[in-house]
């Protein structure tokens, strides 16, 4: 497992980590040159950083960062999402705060920013997960809607054609996410994805399932994952990391290592995770060959491609 800690010059918030997916480097960079990804990550960091510096909440910051990634067609979320075997985009997203509140959407087809819809589920309903939210819900929640064509890019269409023609294996990577701590010391996570290239219509991955691809607790950490969704669901990976910390007494580094070894490696699965504890320990980790990620530690920002 590859890992790096985000350096800290002082304790407490604000602090922000983001990721733009994990997997074989060539698979992702086939869409565009690496410098375009670096700019996309930097733009997302700036969006989250601006929110934190304005005194907004950790939830505001992670949503701002993820919205920036959803609006960037290079990343597999929102516009530029991977396409189903029918050539449509079905997107999942989730948010969670350290006090245990959460919201998620799955198989979203109309919402411009699924992460904003996930937040609406948390704040405007009594539910945690809504599958295939329709136009009526989008209007009720005040969501910006887009036609199907908005989400489909030429890059993703070509990628789907290659997969359906069996000239390319389906990439099992490409999720975006963020974790943050605000000035009050509160933590939150947000994750969003377009899923797998050529996935069946109606397939739901780990991103929209609280505890699998996303989790946050003031007793452990805010966590956002990317990778092979089915394995993250089977291993309930995000919650497993948190549980090892809360109930087993492991620190973040050990908890991540042990979860990857016991839940991902044994399944032959790859992926990546960003995590942030209430004490300010921040970690970017992956067992894939590459991971797009970045951080802002309150002073400096850095991206990794």
Residues belonging to the binding site for substrate are 203-206, 226-229
| Active-site position among 153, 175, 193, 273 | 175
Phi, psi (rounded to 5 degrees) for 27: -60, -45
The per-residue b/e assignment along 119-149, b for 16 or more CB within 10 angstroms, e otherwise, is bbbbeeeeebbbeebeeebbeebebeebeee
- Give 301's strand partners: 296
Q: Answer yes or no: 273 catalytic.
A: no
Q: Which residue has the tokens 């691809």?
A: 213
- Give the single-character DSSP code of 38: H
Distance of CA 45 to the CA centre of its chain: 14
Residues making up the annotated binding site are 203-206, 226-229
- Give 285's strand partners: 3, 273
Specify the 3-state DSSP secondary structure of 265.
helix
Catalytic residues, by residue number, are: 175
């Amino acid at each position: 497992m590859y890992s790096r800690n985000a350096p800290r010059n002082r304790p407490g918030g604000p602090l922000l980590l983001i990721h733009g997916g994990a997997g074989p480097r060539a698979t992702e960079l086939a869409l565009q040159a690496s410098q375009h990804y670096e700019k996309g990550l930097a733009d997302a960091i700036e969006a989250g950083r601006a929110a934190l510096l304005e005194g907004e909440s950790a939830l505001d910051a992670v949503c701002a960062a993820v919205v920036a990634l959803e609006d960037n067609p290079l990343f597999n979320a929102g516009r530029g999402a991977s396409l189903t075997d029918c050539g449509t985009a079905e997107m999942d997203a989730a948010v969670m705060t350290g006090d245990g509140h959460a919201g998620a959407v799955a198989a979203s087809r109309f919402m411009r920013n699924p992460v904003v819809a996930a937040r609406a589920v948390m704040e405007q309903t009594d539910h945690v997960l809504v599958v295939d939210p329709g136009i009526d819900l989008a209007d009720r929640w005040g969501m910006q809607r887009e036609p199907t064509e908005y989400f489909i890019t030429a890059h993703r269409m070509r990628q789907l054609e290659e997969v359906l023609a069996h000239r390319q294996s389906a990439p099992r990577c490409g999720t975006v996410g963020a974790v943050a701590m605000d000035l009050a010391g509160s933590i939150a996570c947000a994750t969003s994805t377009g899923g797998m290239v050529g996935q069946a219509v109606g397939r739901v991955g780990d991103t929209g399932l609280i505890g699998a691809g996303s989790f946050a607790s003031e007793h452990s950490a805010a966590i956002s994952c990317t990778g092979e969704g089915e394995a993250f669901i089977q291993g309930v990976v995000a919650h497993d990391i948190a549980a090892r910390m809360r109930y087993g007494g492991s620190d973040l580094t050990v908890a991540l290592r042990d979860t990857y070894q016991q839940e991902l490696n044994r399944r032959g699965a790859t992926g990546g995770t960003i995590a942030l504890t209430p004490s300010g320990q921040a970690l970017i980790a992956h067992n894939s060959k590459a991971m797009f990620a970045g951080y802002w530690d309150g002073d400096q920002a850095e991206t990794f491609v």
